[in-house]
Structure 1
Amino acid sequence: MGMPSGFELFAIVAVVVLLFGGKKIPEMMKGLGKGIKDFKGAIKEDEPTTMATNDKKIEDEKVEETKSSTTDTTTKV
């Protein structure tokens, strides 16, 4: 089963227009576009926080490694 051919696409569009009417389709598409835009905006808002948190964890791990290596050398001496 591949992509629909020209006639099949025409039939699908005709059925959608008959079911929803020409006036309702642009409203649905506007709502869909707004939903996608809001979703992308929410993802972009969340990314810097996540990346900053990951960077902070990496810094904390490096500090802990430095502390533990410093502690190990003083105990051995």
Structure 2
Amino acid sequence: MKNIFLFISGPEIVFILFIVVMVFGADKIPEIARGLGKGMRQLKDATNEVKAEIQRSAEKQGLDTDFTKEIKDEINKVKDDIDEFTGSVKRKI
């Protein structure tokens, strides 16, 4: 599986996980994963709020909102990359 997120490959992820285990210990990994999950959720919620606010402002000003579709597409690409990355991390843990 090719990982596009930050150009990190499988062996590099394994090495990073090894370092995390060495620094924090195996018992802390679930806690770290939960924290990362909460952070990802907050990022996703904030992104959705920004999108909605941009959409509302544009409509309020009478602007053409077709450009927001391009923004949504880019945001969805980033979300897909993040989901792909976190999925590979979850499988490794």
TM-score of the two chains, using structure 2 as the length reference: 0.45
Alignment partner, residue 27 of structure 1 = 31
TM-score of the two chains, using structure 1 as the length reference: 0.53
Greater relative contact order structure (CA < 8 Å, 6+ sep) = 2
2:54 corresponds to 1:50: yes
Post-superposition Cα deviations, 1:30-70, rounded to whole Å, max 9, x if no partner, equal 101101101111221232221121122126xxxxxxxxxxx
The verdict on how the C-alpha distance between 1:12 and 1:55 changes in structure 2, with shifts beyond 3 A counting, is closer
Larger radius of gyration: 1
Report the structure, 1 or 2, having the larger helix content: 1
The verdict on how the C-alpha distance between 1:20 and 1:37 changes in structure 2, with shifts beyond 3 A counting, is same
Structure 1 unaligned regions, length at least 5? 60-77
The verdict on how the C-alpha distance between 1:51 and 1:23 changes in structure 2, with shifts beyond 3 A counting, is same
Q: How many pairs were matched up?
A: 57
Distance 1:14 1:54 in 2: 47
